[in-house]
Structure 1
Amino acid sequence: MTRRRRIILATGTAVALGLAAWGLAQIEGSDRGVPPIDSAANYEVGGIQVDVVGKTAEQARMVGWRLAQRRGWQQLWAKANNLPANQAPNLSDGQLDQVVAGVSVEDEQIGAHRYIARLGVLFDRGRAGDLLGAHGGGPRSAPTLVIPVMWSGGVAQSFEHRTDWQKAWARFRSGGSPIDYIRPVGTGLDPLLLNVAQAGRPGRGWWRMILDQYGASDVVVPTVHLERRFPGGPVIAHFIAYHGPDSKEVARFDLVARDSNDLARMLDEGVRRIDQAYADTFREGGLIADPTLVAEPAAVKDLGEEAATEETGDAGATAAPATGGPVQTFTIQVETPDAATESAIEQAVRGLPGVKSATTPSLALGGVSLMRVEFAGDVAALRAAAFGAGLQLRDDNGTLRLRRQ
C-alpha cells in the first residue's frame, strides 16, 4: 500500500486545484510571513477518518470521499445547530455534490482495493447556509486580532520568524467559526508590532494603536509550548488559549505528536480545539472586548456618568447636547449578526431626533455593516440622541461604531 500527502479540491466535476498550497509555497524562500487561507466563502470540517474497500483503487477512493461528505455534513449541521449529529437531515450524494466546494486530503494510504485517509470537506457557505437552519449563520464576534505565540527550546516567538504554529493558524479555515479572526501575514511591520513582548504587554496605549492599525477591536493570544524529550521522539505540546491584553485564560490542554513528521497534524488539531474553546465562550456570552481597547479610559468614564444621569434623572446634571446645526453625513460601523438586528437598528436610527436619513449601503450579515446617516448636528449630539434610544455610539480614533447598549 503506497502512502502520500497531497491537497485535492473537488467540485461537482472533481476539478483538482492547488492554489492554497501554491500560495504558501511562494514564501518558502523567506524566514517571515505566511499568508492565511481565505476561508470567507467556505465552511470546513476536517479530520474525517475513512477506511473503505472497492473493486479498484480509484473506486475505493471515490467511496471514501462520498463517505467523508456524508460524515462532514452531519458534523457541520450538528455544530451549527448545537444538536447531535444523528439528527442531521439526510442528503443524497447528488445534493451533497451541490453544496460541497472541495475535499482536502490531509493524509491517505492507497492500496489495490483499499483506501485509508484523513480528509477535510469544504462546504460552500452560500449553498450550505440555506440547509443549516436558522442557526447556520449565527452571530459573529467583533474583529479579533490573532497573535500566535510558540515556545520551543526555551525561546518564544510570534511573528519574529515564521513558525510551525503560525503556519497552522494560516492553514485554518475560519469561515465556520463565530470568531471574526484577523490573521496577519507576518511581513512588513508585523514582526515589530506583533512580537512576544507586545503579546504580554498590559498597557492599553500601544494596544489601541495596534488594534486600530489592523482594524480590530479585540485580541487573542493562542500559545503552545513544545517539549521534545529526545531527538526523533514524540513531541509534547501544551496549549493555552488567552484572551485580551491581560491574558485571561480561556482553555488549556495537551496533545502529543508521534515525531516531528506528525507535528503539523497535532498543531492543526490544537488550532481547531482552541477555536472551539473561543467559540464556546463567545456563545455563552463571554469573550467580550475590553472597552479600554477601543476608547480612552476618560471617555469610558464619561459614558458611565452619562448613563447614571439618564437612569437617575438628576436635575443638576449637564443636559445632553441639543440637535441642530448644519446637516452632516456620518459613516458608521454597525454590528449586524442577522437581518432582524440590522433592520431594527436602522429603524431606530431613522427615528432619532435630527436624523434626516439612514441607509445601509454595505450590508454584512454576521459581521460589520456600514450605515450612512445624515444628521443635523455634530457627533456629540448624535451620540446623545442614540443613547436616549438605547444605542451606544463610540468614536474610535475617527471610526464611528454603533451597537445596542
Structure 2
Amino acid sequence: MRTFSSLSPRGRIALIASGIALAGGAGWLAQAQVGGERGIAAVAASRDIQVSDIEVDVRASTGIEAREEAWREAQVKAWEKIDGPDLPESRIAGMVSAIVVQRERLGPKRYIATLGVIFDRQKANAYLGDDGLTRRSAPMLLLPVTFSGGTQLMYEQRNPWQRAWAEFQAGQSSVNYVRPSGAGGESLLLTYGQTNRRSRVWWRDILDSFGAADVLVPIARLRYTYPGGPVEGTFTARHGPDNEFLESFTLTAESPDQLPAMLEEAVRKFDAIFQVALSDGTIRPDPTLNVKTGDLNPEIARLVELGRRLREQDEARAQAASQPTDASGGAISAAPINQPPPEGSVALYTVQFQTPDAASFGAVLSSVRGTPGVRSTGVRSTAIGGTSVMTVSYVGSIGELAEALRGQGFTVQQGATALLISR
C-alpha cells in the first residue's frame, strides 16, 4: 500500500484536491436538505359553503352564451344538492360568491364543464338554518405521505399530493386541518419516519410547534403502469401517534395528465372519511399527548427520574469512597446539590436542552461551552425537533451552574443533579 509520503508531488496535490472536493460536496448536500423551493402554502380556509362536481352541458348561439347559461344552471343544481328550499334563480345567484372551474371545454356553440359553486355562508344560512353551520374539530396536523418508485415523500420536495392538500378548500369541513407548507426546516422535522415514532414527547414537541392537538396521515401509493399510461392510486387514511388505520380506497387516472384531478378527488374522499370518523368518535385527541394542569411535565419527570438514578450512583460512590484508597485526588465526581466540589476538581452534571432545529442545537452547545466555570461538555443524545442531552463538567455546585447558565440568557429548571435549559 502506498502512503501519502511516498506519493509524487503531483499525486499529493491530486489527493488533497479530491478531499477538498468531497468536503465541499458534503457541505452542498447539507445545504440542499433545506435549500431550494420546497414549500407549498395552503390556501386561506373559507367558511363559505362549497359544492363541487356539478356537471353541465349547454348549447347556445355562441360559446360565451352557452357558458353563461351553464353557470346559471350550475348555481341551481348546487343549491338543490345541499337541499336548499325552492327559490327564484335570481335569489340563488345573489348568494353565490364564486364559481370554481374544475374542468371545462368551450366550443363555438357548446359548453361542457365540471364546476364548483361557492355560496356565501351568511346569506345562505338564512335559508339553510343550522344545517349550514359546522362544528369543527380540534386542530389536526396533516402529514400527507406519497409512496412512489420505492420512496416515501412528504415535505422533502414539492409534490402533487402535497399540492392537492394545499389547494383544498377546507373551510366547510368539520375537520380543522393544520397544513404545514414544508418550507425551511419543516422538511427536516416532518418526514415519513415521524409517522412511525411512538414517543409522546417527540409528538408533543411537534404538535406544539404547529399549534395542533393530534395528527392525520393521508397516504397515497402511486403506481405508474407504463410511461404515459394509467396511474393507479391506493389511498390509506391513518390517525394519531400510533398510526391507527381508518379506511382505504383506490382510484385510477387514465394518464399522468389526469393525476391532479385524481388527487383532488382523493382529497375530498379523505375529508369525508375524516369527517365520519370525527362524528362517530373514532378521531379524538389522544389523551396521552396532553399534559394536564397540575400534572408533571414529562421532561421534568425525566429529570426527576434521572436525578434519582444519579443519587443512587452517588450513594454507591460514597460508600466505596469510605474504604481506604491511594487514588483520592483529581477525580471527576458528582457534587452535592449546592456544595462545590473539592478545590482542583470538577463535578459532572447532566443538562437537557430543547433543540427544535440543527441551528439551535449548535447555538446551545456553543453558549454552554462559553459559560464561565465550564471545563468541558459532551453530547449524550441528539434529538433534532425534541430534547437533547449533554454532560457538563463544571467547577462548582449545580446551583452555581444554574446561575451561570441564567447569566447566558437561558431559562433554567433545576433537578437533583440535572438541569433543563431553554431560551
Give the structure-1-normalised TM-score. Answer: 0.62
> 1:371: which partner in 2?
none
Q: Does 1:173 align with 2:169?
A: yes
Q: Does 1:247 align with 2:243?
A: yes
How far the C-alpha of 1:298 sits from its partner, in A, is 10
State the one-letter code of the partner of 2:161. Answer: W
Could you tell me whether the CA contact under 8 Å between 1:158 and 1:196 is conserved in 2? yes
> 2:185: which partner in 1?
189
Separation in structure 2 between the aligned mates of residue 281 and residue 195 of structure 1, nearest angstrom:
24
The superposition leaves residues 357-389 of structure 1 with CA deviations (integer Å, 9 ceiling, x where unpaired) of xxxxxxxxxxxxxxxxxxxxxxxxxxxxxxxxx
> 1:90: which partner in 2?
86
Separation in structure 1 between the aligned mates of residue 214 and residue 87 of structure 2, nearest angstrom:
39
Separation in structure 1 between the aligned mates of residue 73 and residue 245 of structure 2, nearest angstrom:
38
Runs of 4+ in 1 over 6 A off after TM superposition: none
Q: Which of the residues 55, 58, 70 maps onto 1:52?
A: 58
Could you tell me whether the CA contact under 8 Å between 2:223 and 2:232 is conserved in 1? yes
Separation in structure 2 between the aligned mates of residue 43 and residue 194 of structure 1, nearest angstrom:
31
Q: Which has the larger radius of gyration?
A: 2
Separation in structure 1 between the aligned mates of residue 88 and residue 75 of structure 2, nearest angstrom:
10
Q: Does 1:74 align with 2:80?
A: yes
> 2:208: which partner in 1?
212
Separation in structure 1 between the aligned mates of residue 279 and residue 61 of structure 2, nearest angstrom:
46
Could you tell me whether the CA contact under 8 Å between 2:143 and 2:218 is conserved in 1? yes
Separation in structure 1 between the aligned mates of residue 131 and residue 47 of structure 2, nearest angstrom:
17
Aligned-partner SS, 1:161: coil
Q: Which of the residues 196, 204, 213 maps onto 1:200?
A: 196
State the one-letter code of the partner of 1:247. Answer: N
Q: Does 1:159 align with 2:155?
A: yes
> 2:267: which partner in 1?
271
State the one-letter code of the partner of 2:184. Answer: G
Separation in structure 1 between the aligned mates of residue 293 and residue 227 of structure 2, nearest angstrom:
50
How far the C-alpha of 1:241 sits from its partner, in A, is 0.8
Could you tell me whether the CA contact under 8 Å between 1:51 and 1:117 is conserved in 2? yes
Residue 298 and residue 163 in structure 1: after superposition, are their counterparts in 2 closer, same or farther (change >3 A)?
farther
Could you tell me whether the CA contact under 8 Å between 1:43 and 1:173 is conserved in 2? no
Structure-to-structure mapping, 1:308-319, within 5 angstroms: none
Q: Which of the residues 206, 221, 224 maps onto 1:228?
A: 224
Aligned-partner SS, 1:131: helix
Aligned sequence identity (%) = 40
State the one-letter code of the partner of 1:252. Answer: S
How far the C-alpha of 1:297 sits from its partner, in A, is 12
How far the C-alpha of 1:128 sits from its partner, in A, is 2.2
State the one-letter code of the partner of 2:64. Answer: E
Give the structure-2-normalised TM-score. Answer: 0.59
The superposition leaves residues 126-169 of structure 1 with CA deviations (integer Å, 9 ceiling, x where unpaired) of 22233222232132110111010011111111111111000000
Question: Relative to structure 2, which stretch is displaced further, 36-45 or 183-192?
Answer: 36-45
Aligned-partner SS, 1:132: helix
How far the C-alpha of 1:39 sits from its partner, in A, is 2.2
Aligned-partner SS, 1:130: helix
How far the C-alpha of 1:174 sits from its partner, in A, is 0.4
> 1:354: which partner in 2?
none
Residue 97 and residue 254 in structure 1: after superposition, are their counterparts in 2 closer, same or farther (change >3 A)?
same
Structure-to-structure mapping, 1:344-355, within 5 angstroms: none
> 1:108: which partner in 2?
104
State the one-letter code of the partner of 1:208. Answer: R
State the one-letter code of the partner of 1:111. Answer: G
State the one-letter code of the partner of 1:149. Answer: V
Q: Does 1:43 align with 2:46?
A: no
Could you tell me whether the CA contact under 8 Å between 1:41 and 1:126 is conserved in 2? no
State the one-letter code of the partner of 1:131. Answer: Y
The superposition leaves residues 255-286 of structure 1 with CA deviations (integer Å, 9 ceiling, x where unpaired) of 00010100000000000000001111112222
Structure-to-structure mapping, 1:367-378, within 5 angstroms: none
Could you tell me whether the CA contact under 8 Å between 2:121 and 2:132 is conserved in 1? no
Structure-to-structure mapping, 1:331-350, within 5 angstroms: none
Aligned-partner SS, 2:72: helix
RMSD: 2.1
> 1:146: which partner in 2?
142
Question: Relative to structure 2, which stretch is displaced further, 279-288 or 234-243?
Answer: 279-288
How far the C-alpha of 1:252 sits from its partner, in A, is 0.5
Could you tell me whether the CA contact under 8 Å between 1:35 and 1:185 is conserved in 2? yes
State the one-letter code of the partner of 1:32. Answer: R
> 2:113: which partner in 1?
117
State the one-letter code of the partner of 2:46. Answer: A
Separation in structure 1 between the aligned mates of residue 179 and residue 144 of structure 2, nearest angstrom:
9
State the one-letter code of the partner of 1:116. Answer: I
Separation in structure 2 between the aligned mates of residue 58 and residue 112 of structure 1, nearest angstrom:
8
Could you tell me whether the CA contact under 8 Å between 1:144 and 1:216 is conserved in 2? yes
> 2:67: which partner in 1?
61
Residue 177 and residue 41 in structure 1: after superposition, are their counterparts in 2 closer, same or farther (change >3 A)?
closer
Separation in structure 1 between the aligned mates of residue 69 and residue 261 of structure 2, nearest angstrom:
24
